[in-house]
Amino acid sequence: MQNSRDCHDVPFIFNEFRDDRPSTAVNNKNFDIVACVIETDRHVTYHEIRASLGMDTSQIHAILHKHLGTKKLHSRWIPHNSTEAQKTGRVTWCNAMPTTFKEGASNSVRDTVKGDKI
């Protein structure tokens, strides 16, 4: 998936639990921060987001589900509002895989990175 956000300036503080931070409102800045967090680590939990950003669970839920259009699927946040270009790219990739891996006869198929290993 192509990353359209610049996540370099986002303050990640997952190693520190910050219960002393005030709760913040659901706003565009937090949309971008939460989006960068889940793009960086698709296995991140509500608890980790809450602890690092000082947001209530209901605010995190609203941002993830209503504003970013994501769902937690097999312990990973998956975008469900893909653009047509992203959908086309995925279809193209899937169609190329049988040829690339010679219908499963190629040993290269074992080198493919699984989603749970990222």
Give tens-digit pLDDT for 23-68. Answer: 455 788 888 888 888 888 888 888 888 888 888 888 888 888 888 8
Domain extents for the chain? 1-80, 82-118
Check: pTM over 0.85? Answer yes or no. no
Beta strand residue intervals within 1-118, DSSP E: 70-73, 76-79
What is the model's pLDDT at position 23?
A: 44
Cβ(23)–Cβ(54) under 8 Å?
yes
Residue 115 DSSP class? G
Rounded CA Rg of the chain: 17
What is the model's pLDDT at position 81?
A: 77
Distance of alpha carbon 67 from alpha carbon 61, whole angstroms: 9
**Crossing angle of helices 28-40/46-53, nearest 10°?**
130
* Tokens read off for 46: 């509500």
